[in-house]
Amino acid sequence: MDPAVVIDVARLGKTFGPVTAVEDLSFTVRAGEIFGLLGPNGAGKSTTLRMLITVLPPSTGTATVLGHDIVTEADTVRSLIGYVPQERAVDRFLTGREHLELLGGLYHLSRTETNARIDELLKLVNLEEHADRVAKTYSGGMKRKLDIACGLLPNPKIVFLDEPTLGLDVQSRLKIWDYIRQLRENGITIVMTTNYLEEADQLCDRLAIIDGGTIRVIGSPLELKTGLGGDSLSVTIKEHEAEKLPRLREGVMALPLVRDVRLNPTGLDILVESPEKSLPAVIEVAQRLDCGLDGIEYHRPRLDDVFVAHTGHGLRGGTPDTAEEE
């Protein structure tokens, strides 16, 4: 197996009684990347994640995490990964430090190891001052930070995050994004679910769009957006200059960063590699040909467009006929 592949999922499926939650999932996650599972509620993201962290046995298919089978070598997988659940899974009666001490025992760390690790993590998530208060006094953002510290306690190679910023305010969200990026810088692979397009776009190196229990498309946010045609410029020419349009088209076509040019009734649609560089070049060509322009518009497809193109509906529309995520 390619050493860069840390998770290999092959035709994984899960049914709950008569309900198929996910079906025929295949994907790989590469070392050191942030891999996102994007989809609406009930799409099967959490189910997929819970199979990978070995708390839910798959109905069909197989998957390996760091080369270990999630069913037959579940214990080895568990010792190598960290998990940050979707719910605020904190014990309201325990302090932040006690949570981490508990997990230290469960990961079989020695007391000294645990304490060193706790100091490190409390600093990372800025909870040092609140470490000895019981969790019921924590805000939503603080609980989330504690959740993340808990997920990192075993010093995992891969961290799984289920909806890491669900229900958080903007500031806490940005903070959490920072931590996640920091983890990647430290060489940790991240697998996360999200139903926020912006989060997937900003944070993920690659993502799989899941809807109705199946993967619709996989790629980097840029690839996915480019797949829809990529960036384009729409040039509108002054009405009395319309006869110059074919010449302008030829001139633009000759530019190195231009991939395709189409005529439209009032001007040109230009598909470009890099809008920043091609925009001045297009203007230059127009000036050289003495062709008066009425305006230039710049389009970049958003992840929303990608989502709609691959699922047939918007992310917020949801899919009422699919299984509820429990």
Partner 1 sequence: MTFQHYRQEVLALTMRWVRRLSREKFSMLFTLVQPMLFWLIFFGSLFQKAANIQILQAPNYMSFLAGGVVVMTVLNNGLAGGVDLLFDKENGFLERLMSTPIHRSSVILSRYLFVMAITGMQILVILSIAFVFGVRLETGLPGIAVILAIGMLFGVGLTAISMGLAFSVKSHGDFFSMLGFLSLPMIFLSSALVPLSAMPGWMQVVAMVNPMTWVIDAVRPLIITGWNAAIPQVGMAFVILAIFDAVCLYGGAKAFRRAIG
Output 101 or 231, the one with its CB closest to partner 1.
101
* CA atoms within 13 A of residue 52's CA, in its CB half-sphere: 37
* CA atoms within 13 A of residue 314's CA, in its CB half-sphere: 3
Q: How far apart (Å, rounded) are the C-alpha atoms in residues 312 and 316?
A: 12
Strands (E), 48-151: 60-65, 68-69, 81-84
Task: Compute the least distance from the CB of residue 206 to partner 1, in Å.
Answer: 23
Output 105 or 312, the one with its CB closest to partner 1.
105
Start-to-end Cα distance in the chain: 34
Q: How far apart (Å, rounded) are the C-alpha atoms in residues 14 and 16?
A: 7
Output 44 or 104, the one with its CB closest to partner 1.
104
Task: Compute the least distance from the CB of residue 106 to partner 1, in Å.
Answer: 4
Q: Which residue bears the tokens 């920043």?
A: 276
Task: Compute the least distance from the CB of residue 103 to partner 1, in Å.
Answer: 7
Q: How far is CA 8 from CA 28, 68, 130, 218, in A?
A: 5, 10, 39, 14
Residues making contact with partner 1 (CB under 8 A): 50, 53-57, 75-76, 78-79, 81, 83, 85-91, 93-94, 98, 101-108, 134, 150, 154
Output 41 or 214, the one with its CB closest to partner 1.
41
Task: Compute the least distance from the CB of residue 53 to partner 1, in Å.
Answer: 5
Output 150 or 215, the one with its CB closest to partner 1.
150
Task: Compute the least distance from the CB of residue 143 to partner 1, in Å.
Answer: 11
Task: Compute the least distance from the CB of residue 98 to partner 1, in Å.
Answer: 6
Q: How far apart (Å, rounded) are the C-alpha atoms in residues 79 and 95?
A: 24
Q: Which residue bears the tokens 């230290």?
A: 104
Do residues 73 and 80 make contact, with C-beta atoms less than 8 angstroms apart? no
Output 190 or 215, the one with its CB closest to partner 1.
190
Cβ count within 10 A of residue 139: 12
